[in-house]
Structure 1
Amino acid sequence: MKVHFIAIGGSVMHQLAIALSRKGYEVTGSDDEIFEPALTNLQKEGLLPVKMGWEGGRIHANLDAVILGMHAKGDNPELQRALELSLPIYSFPEYIYRESRDKKRVVVGGSHGKTTTTAMIMNVLAAAGKDFDYLVGARLDGFSQSVNITHAPVIVCEGDEYPASVLEKRPKFHFLHPHIAVLTGIAWDHINVFPTFDNYLEQFRIFIGMIEPGGVLIYNETDPVLKRLVDEHPAPVRKVGYGIPEYRIENGITLATLEGQSGPLKVFGEHNLLNFHAAFLVARELGMDARSFLQGMAAFSGAAKRLELIEKKEGLNVYRDFAHAPSKVKATIQAVKTQFPDRELIAVLELHTYSSLNEQFLSEYSGALDLADHAAVFYSRHALELKRLPLLPKDKVAAGFGKAGLAVVTEKEELRDWLAQQSYKNVNLLLMSSGNFDGLTIRDFLIL
């Protein structure tokens, strides 16, 4: 197989390129810019383009497939040449499906918890010695890649509702056709792509209809919107609801019970217990029992930036989390406060996505930070400029969250000053962002 990647430097694109090269395919690629860690990863595998930029001459009639990344624009000369030659052109998820047509496909979708649930499934399967391929949206301990394509009989995929490519505007998870599907919940997001909640909801309705006939849908029945959608959907699949399993907290450690078997978890919070239960139901569909699942989960400490403990001192834990959408922020805040009820919680949220920086969307955050003892919301002018959004008044942000005493800051020096003013005795500090706080490093936050 000869495969060419247009925009090979993407976070998952370069991982797929490496996986196919290791499988024995002849892989080439191009991009206008490639950043770390993709640059070093591609270089180590001998896949780094000799020259940056786009050249139509790289596309030839002997290619078996062209894989088009989200970064590529419609007028890309390599894309135009591939169209002229009538070559097979695939978005990333379309190609994943092509490689997994003969596998049992597990796809985890939903507005939140996708990465963690997928990671849980992957970790317990690996601990049990199962052979499987995977696609996940974060770095995971114990896995060298975030994409792996071999001859394994099963593939576990995180299913994203964002558009597949510049040519294919449908959500990525519409192309994967699972035998085992998970939906973790539905909370409106990506308003630049899905301008109304009904439009967003429709993508999940379509996804349910794309589950293979006779397959299974494992869904969060504690989410009333999702439950109603599943109940009303006529898909010819088995529907299995899940909720928060039996658990208790002892000395800051969560112990969960499944089918009469109990075990300790390193992750915590009701949202993670929901993820945990969903992952178990998938594992059971793949032949695992509760005891084996709990054994595999005992060492799981979470995916990168998902309630990740990044610093621990006497009387202080510092957590980093990818939370950015309202439901994710609220769930993360609740998890930390519930796990450590005797500690104060200082929460810092960065508004970084198009939705979160949009004045019309701010009301969705109402109450999201209420459980924090002290809270700050940060956003930068640079982020607004990149998304071509107008200036966002601080008073509008404060009104959207509706939290008394909320600090709203737009300069990183101002955020440093606010952090320095806090007391850090018997405290958890929670940093939530899908960005990087305008270049602030973890060291900057550890000025305490």
Structure 2
Amino acid sequence: MAASERTKDLPFVRGDIAKFRHYVGVPLNPYDGPNIGTVFIFSSTPSKEGLSETHRSYLFETASHIIRHLEQAVEALEGKRLLKFNQGVASLLRMGSSAGLAAESAQEQPLPESRDKQQSLVSNLYNDSALRLYQLSATLLYDAFEFDGVRIQEPGPSGNFVNRNPAWNGSSILAEHLGPRAHKPQSLSHTLTSRLLELFPQGAVFQVLDEKSKIVAATSASDVALVDDPVISMELSRSFPGAVQIVLMPLWDTFHERTTGAVLGFANTQSRVYLGSTDLASISAFCTTIMTQVRRLEAQAMDKIKSDFLGSVSHEMRTPLHGMLSSLELLADIPHNAHQHDLLETARYSGLSLLDTIERVLYFSNISSGSYNLEHTGSNVPSEGLVHPSSLVQHKPAASPRESDTVEAINICEDIIHSESQRLRLKEAVQSEPSMG
């Protein structure tokens, strides 16, 4: 090395660092992969006969012990990360329901001003439960994957879409969680977000090189290339100042078949290296769980809206219908002939049938919303000398949740059958009464 023009001026060749001039080494390659280092032994004088077989075996055995230790350390580290990931998914599943989010909101201490602003960034299209779920997801991603910061944001309006909601503050950020060492990311332009989602629909890991305009993207272990898109090369590193690693994962809504947002996690150091072959799969699974919970909240909100609408319409229809039936009863007390009597009974039967239909619509809306009250509905059904099944259930021992659900379903079906039987008996009575007269 001292005779080579390329290496003769290196400090360890000149002897500025150490006087050792002769060395031998064994490479370290855990999991039979690429070399990550070397075990060296140095000497100031050369060995005329070289290393003995015993020394060579000892050197290789030492390197083997180091490799096994490194492999165990990596497996222990991955085990801890896997545990964090599982805990994060479990927390998301536990707190993703509306009941869980409500309980969390009731137990939570007052939020700092900065975090409270983060949660209220988008207020036009999302209810409080969905925004709290996104904020919880950003926090869990930050903890599970050891990011310095996480941002979840919408892809931005498309076409000529204009939001006229006065409560909208113009932000597309759904949630954000920043660590103590993170720099505040800048707002991503709609052009940059669209290009990222278009070119990397399955996510990517970006490595920012020393030259800020050069970015390497990895989507798998074998697919690693320099990004040649000018928008991404110029704006991505500028939007995340100080970040050397940026992970992108789109939020794909399978129900609506569209991308509703993107998760962007970033790190300021290389102490935690993110790989396209392993980390992207875990983050993708986490994001799928996020969208599943968001979809469930949307379904619950829609069910509540439909149930409230049916209940409101049913009540509004029952009020004038009760007035019509009362007027018919008063009108029946006035002297009338047989033909008028038939008309009154037909109108009365039609009103009762319509009232029964409205009642069943109201019952079904209560069943779908989970607020069906057996005691209330059971009291409206005439017994006519029969023992109602719900009265027998009250004296039974406490049942398990599954048995309780079964008993409740049986009672609901029996209530409907009793109501239908009453309607049929009324219909037969009305049809037979004119002939009897």
Query: When the two structures are superposed, what TM-score results if normalisation uses the length of structure 1?
Result: 0.24
Larger Rg: 2
Counting strand residues as a fraction of each chain, which structure ranks higher?
Answer: 1
Counting helix residues as a fraction of each chain, which structure ranks higher?
Answer: 2
